[in-house]
Structure 1
């Protein structure tokens, strides 16, 4: 923690900062301060906008004068060395970049941000590679073990516009997953509410629960493997909502979990896939369709399956016939 005594600050909201909720604005200003404390200082009236009390859902307007109370903030964590192999490799994973945003083909095994014992994640890596960028924020997230397309905003206005597309279901995302068994063609969608649970160990698990948040994923069979001794199906999954572990739990709840899913998978199935050389979760964000956050132009991005996943598919296609 910093030894210097924090002081009251006043911040005038710029055009680029306008439109966001006060609680989200404070989270960006008071890095390291827990959400519970943010809500407490707003509720107690320590945060003022134009000298008046506000609620956490208040949306900021250009020119608003925000009083930010003295709150001790955690020291800013140093960024990783951009010359580290994993960080330098991210440069090649960037498939699109302009002044407003960039799109990365995230490697499997890399968290999107640091924390929980991790010194850094993808966003810290990108900030190390782009030290001149004043603003770099994740638009959405991918699980650590999931690979594929991930968007990062380079302007607050771009972040706001892309979040609006997510909220309005105006963005198409298609994932590819290898699942256990023969996926029934009649299952075109899974519409099951999801509830997040945190175990005593701190591990997060999600389950279907009638009291959970509404969640919808559309599915389509891409490929079956009639000649393989391993019963598996390659499916496309298009999440309409964006809940934690959504595709992983929706495939599990209909009896067809994703290959090599350590939380929701089938051990025997995973052992079979390991014998084909699979050593990671077979879930990949392959396609993304958006409107450019500034120009409004329609854009499509595509990241093919990496070589390790393609090799598994080739082996399944050539697989040994089931014994009769």
Structure 2
């Protein structure tokens, strides 16, 4: 009898989700992908197709946009143990990420993203920052990226915990009210007078399948980055970069086209300079999102979050030969 009861309690149950104003407006497939943690994407679409997921007791399609007050019914499903194991194998990554949280409240979370970690799974990567944060905050109703950082770039990454916050911050980004400052360690003597680079940028797919960005002032998209010298070294400069526009690889290509590629940039770098940087202990791209300033979506206050350089980057600056003159 006890065994039977135990088996019954182990059986998956019908799930109900009631939509409120925070979740309205998004597609049901996207909502379910975030809500049904561990359930494969293919299974969600199969359940929708078979009518085992219903909205207000009616069949629905993946592209249906949710309304305030909708009730979603999900038929009993068993989450694969293999999918749960994928999360459990990343516990060390998740635990480490907790130490990188710079700011958190009921609306937002800002993290100092480690270099080498993608912002989300995909392109052969099953686990990124957003998946790790969802494992770290399993009770969070939603966690969505407000913006992105390249995999090899470290620093401030903002994640919304409510849909209203996501909409508010996206509007700020569109209206260029968000300020993001980066620190880059570049080759050579960056001139003090070079405070702005405005070169059009175009994505270019190579025969190998690799995507690179090239300068193209005819067919490329208008782009602007503003710069300030922070510190000089022998044959190198630490600069602050402020991207006015937000093009793919913008800072990296704007540095390269001026003859000052960023240290250890696998796509746009300089071999001899990379060797010098590696001899000082650098083993990654030296591009760091040092701070971000925006209007808090609830209070309306302007806030600035700063992400300090990690020990590895700080060590490189300590080890690299200093410039003898103030020229």
TM-score, normalising length from structure 2? 0.75
CA distance in 2 between partners of 1:254 and 1:240 (Å): 17
Is the partner of 1:125 in helix, strand or coil? helix
Deviations 1:64-104 (A, max 9, x none): 99xxxxxxxxx996562276222210011011111111000
1:236 corresponds to 2:240 = yes
Partner SS, residue 150 of structure 1: strand
Is this contact kept in 2: 1:194–1:215, CA < 8 A? yes
Work out whether residues 82 and 88 of structure 1, in 8 Å CA contact, stay in contact via their aligned partners in 2.
no
Secondary structure of the structure 1 residue equivalent to 2:88 = coil
Determine if contact 1:206/1:244 at 8 Å carries over to the other structure.
yes
CA distance in 2, matches of 1:252, 1:12: 51
CA distance in 1, matches of 2:172, 2:89: 32
Matching residue within 118, 122, 127 for 1:115: 122
Q: Indicate whether 1:16 and 2:22 are aligned.
A: yes
1:233 Cα deviation from its structure 2 partner: 0.6
From 82, 87, 99, give the equivalent of 1:80. Answer: 87
The answer to whether 1:252 aligns with 2:256 is yes
| Aligned 8 A contact 1:82 1:128 in 2 | no
Within 5 Å, which residues of 2 pair with 1:23-102? Answer: 25=27, 28-29=30-31, 80-81=87-88, 84-102=91-109
Supply the distance in 2 between the matched residues of 1:83 and 1:120 (Cα, whole angstroms): 8
Moved more, 98-107 or 203-212: 203-212
Q: Does structure 1 residue 297 correspond to structure 2 residue 301?
A: yes
Corresponding residue for 2:166? 159
Residues 174-194 of structure 1, C-alpha deviations (whole Å, 9 max, x = no match): 100000111111211111121
Residue equivalent to 1:205: 212
Structure 1 unaligned segments of length 5 or more: list them: 1-10, 34-55, 66-74
Question: How large is the RMSD of aligned CA atoms in angstroms?
Answer: 2.8
**C-alpha distance after superposition, 1:97-147 (max 9, x if no partner):** 111110000011111111111120000000011111111000001111111
SS at match of 1:235: strand
Residues 276-318 of structure 1 deviation map (CA, whole Å, 9 limit, x = unaligned): 1111100001111111012111111111111111111112255
In structure 2, what is the Cα distance between the partners aligned to 1:83 and 1:14? Answer: 32
Secondary structure of 2:131's match?
Answer: helix
Q: Does 1:147 align with 2:154?
A: yes
Q: CA deviation at 1:26?
A: 6.8
Shift in Å, 1:28: 2.6
Number of the residue aligned with 2:51: none
Task: State whether residues 81 and 87 of structure 1, in contact with CA within 8 Å, keep that contact through their aligned partners in structure 2.
Answer: no
Deviation at 1:17, TM superposition (A): 4.5
Distance 1:191 1:212 in 2: 11
Q: Are the equivalent residues in 1 in contact too, given 2:182–2:242 (CA < 8 A)? A: yes
- State how far apart, in whole Å, the 1-side matches of 2:29 and 2:153 are: 27
Q: Paired residue for 2:195? A: 188
Q: Give TM-score scaled by structure 1 length.
A: 0.75
Is 1:179 equivalent to 2:179 in the alignment? no
User: Does the CA-based 8 Å contact 2:197-2:224 persist in structure 1?
Assistant: yes
- What SS does the corresponding residue of 1:255 show, helix, strand or coil? coil
Q: Which has the higher helix share?
A: 2
Q: Which protein has the larger Cα radius of gyration, Structure 1 or Structure 2?
A: 2
User: Which runs of 5 or more structure 2 residues have no equivalent in the other structure?
Assistant: 1-16, 34-40, 43-62, 71-79
Q: Within 2, Cα distance between the matches of 1:285 and 1:145? A: 11
2:322, 2:181 → 1: CA distance? 26
Does structure 1 conserve the Cα–Cα contact (< 8 Å) formed by 2:23 and 2:68? no
Question: What is the number of residues matched between the two proteins?
Answer: 269
